[in-house]
Each structure stands twice: as structure tokens, then as C-alpha cells.
Amino acid sequence: MTEVKKIAVIGSGAMGRQIGMVAALGGFDAVVQDISADAVSQAEQAMKEWVDGRVAKGRLDAGQADAAWSRLRFTTDLREAVGDADLVIEAATEKLDIKRRVFAQIDELAPGHAILTTNSSTYGSSSVADATKRPEKVCNMHFFNPALVMKAVEVVRHPDTSDDTVDTVMAVARQMGKLPVLLNKEIPGFIANRLMGALRSEAIDLFEQGIASLEDIDVAAKSALGHPMGPFELMDLVGIDVTYLIREATFDMTGDEREKPHPLITEKYEAGEFGRKTGKGWYSYAD
């Protein structure tokens, strides 16, 4: 297996920042990179608040927190981030042209032995692997929101991914305290998003037909099925923009009309009502 000591995370959004912290808590040297200095400093601040909260709540001792901070850095410099990385996790926006550009750049800058992964849940890694000269070292490593809490990581190989790459990424996920699952074949949505998508479509249909309020549909998912959140609450957490972009991309890839974003999702996307991050989605958030 490839020895992994240093992990670079590309993108400091809701996922990237938390994946960086998960890596540092798992004992890896980690760096989170983003092109925007503002985004990087917001991400660092959010992680400071999270760590302070954990320490105050007695969930993390101060020594562990200091050790994690000593292993984690935030930067805008891609060369510095990936120049000595053993594993790169790309968590940039769900747009294929951006991801392909990022993979081509990382491939130039990262050491030859480095494994390059994408956190994408939409695009199988074959759609970025051919932007690099090391397709056998490329796969998906898909985390779930909030990545600091959710245990699952979907590892998805494409036809040319090597066994060493898969074994290394599975082992890294376990060292991060996660429960990785392996998909031997690329399929849009992988496992968990396909299950979630089916539930979400039903939930929106029930709401649109006026069968029940969105609040009651969420209550039923929690109280009847034991889900921690209802489908509307979950869309607001994940981001209606993310949901929209995933559906659009999946429709582009498959041509299947059923994959198109629901018109109510499109309406919210166009209105900039993305959920918790904008203060309004299906629900309104005071701050």
C-alpha cells in the first residue's frame, strides 16, 4: 500500500474544511486549500469554533485539539498544498470543467506516488482521471455532510483504478475513524445518494400534491422511519444548490428525464434559496 502521511484537501467549503479536520484528527498532516483567501479564513474560523465547542463540551481534550491544530494548515497556494502530498482529496464545486482543470493542475504539482481522489458524488472518477497522467491512482472518496460526524465514506473505483489505490484509500478512511464502503463500478449517485434521491422525490411529490405539509413529511420520516432528519431538513443541510447541480449533472450524463431537478428545486435554486447556508431553503433560519 502507498504510505500516506500528508493529505491535501482542495476546496474549503462545508465539506473540504471538515474533511481536513477529520484528517488531522486521524493523525495525518493535512492542508486545506482554496483559491479565495476569504473562503480559507472563514473555513479556518469555523473549524476553530467547532474545536473550541468540542473541547468546551468535553468531547475532545485540549491536548488532542492542540495536536490536531499542529497538523492542520489552511492556504491559498495549490503548489504548497499538494507539492509533498501523499493523498489529495478534491472537494471543489460540483462542476466537471472545474474539477478537470483542478485534476490536471494537481497532477502537475503533486509527487508521482500521490493518489488523487475526488469527493464528488456525481462524477465517477473516470471523468477526471483522463485529465491526469496517473489514472490508476485516481478514485472517488465520497464523504457525507457533516463530514465530522457521518461515518460513511464511499470509495468508488473506475475501470483503471489499481488495487493499491483502493486499499490505500480504504485504509486512510478507516484511520480517519470512518466506515468505508467500496463500489466496484461507477454509477451516478453511488449508493447513499441513490437511496436519498428516491426518498426525496417521494417527499417532494407528496408535498406538491398537497397531501401533507413539508413539516409533517419531515416528522413522518423521523418518527415513523427513525431517520435523524426529514428529507426537507436534509436538503437544507446539504444545500439545495448542491442537490440541483447533482441532478442537472446526472441528467446530462444519463439523458434520463427522471434525473432532472424537480421544478420546485429549480425554483429555489434560481431564487438563491439554498438552505441553511443562505438563511432560507424549505425552511427559514433566523441567523
Which among 44, 119, 120, 121 is annotated as catalytic?
121
| Closer residue to ligand 3HC, CB minimum distance, 207 or 244 | 244
Distant-in-sequence, close-in-space partners of 87: CB < 8 Å, separation ≥ 6 = 2, 4, 6, 7, 8, 114, 115, 117, 168, 169, 172
Answer for the pair 86, 7: CB distance below 8 angstroms, yes or no.
yes
Which among 142, 248, 259, 262 is annotated as catalytic?
142
Q: What is the CB neighbour count within 10 angstroms for residue 58?
A: 7
Name residues contacting ligand 3HC, limited to 263-282 (CB under 6 A): none
Tell me, yes or no, if 193 is annotated catalytic.
yes
Q: What is the CB neighbour count within 10 angstroms for residue 106?
A: 23
Contact between 234 and ligand 3HC per CB under 6 A = yes
| Closer residue to ligand 3HC, CB minimum distance, 114 or 274 | 274
Report CA 215 to chain centroid distance, whole Å: 26
Of 242, 247, 248, 250, the one binding ligand 3HC (CB under 6 A) is 242
Nearest to 267 by CA among 254, 280, 277: 280
| Closer residue to ligand 3HC, CB minimum distance, 34 or 236 | 236
| Closer residue to ligand 3HC, CB minimum distance, 134 or 239 | 239
Answer for the pair 64, 55: CB distance below 8 angstroms, yes or no.
no
Of 193, 203, 207, 235, the one binding ligand 3HC (CB under 6 A) is 193
Does residue 121 have a known ligand-binding role? yes
Q: What is the CB neighbour count within 10 angstroms for residue 147?
A: 23
Burial degree of 43 (CB within 10 A; 0-12, 13-18, 19+): buried
Contact between 201 and ligand 3HC per CB under 6 A = no
| Closer residue to ligand 3HC, CB minimum distance, 50 or 69 | 50
Tell me, yes or no, if 142 is annotated catalytic.
yes
Contact between 198 and ligand 3HC per CB under 6 A = no
Q: What is the CB neighbour count within 10 angstroms for residue 114?
A: 23
Residues, the chain, total?
287
C-alpha cell at 24: 488531522
- Minimum CB separation of residue 150 from ligand 3HC in Å reads 5
Tell me, yes or no, if 121 is annotated catalytic.
yes
Of 27, 228, 272, 279, the one binding ligand 3HC (CB under 6 A) is 228
| CA dist list (Å): 141 to 117, 163, 199, 240 | 6, 14, 23, 22
Residue that the C-alpha cell 478512511 belongs to: 173
Does residue 277 have a known ligand-binding role? yes
Which among 44, 154, 186, 233 is annotated as catalytic?
154
Name residues contacting ligand 3HC, limited to 111-170 (CB under 6 A): 121, 144-146, 148-150
Binding residues: 11-16, 34, 94, 99, 121, 145, 277
Binding residues for NAD(+): 11-16, 34, 94, 99, 121, 145, 277
Contact residues: ligand 3HC, CB under 6 A: 50, 57, 59, 121, 144-146, 148-150, 193, 196, 228-229, 234, 238, 242
Catalytic residues: 121, 142, 154, 193
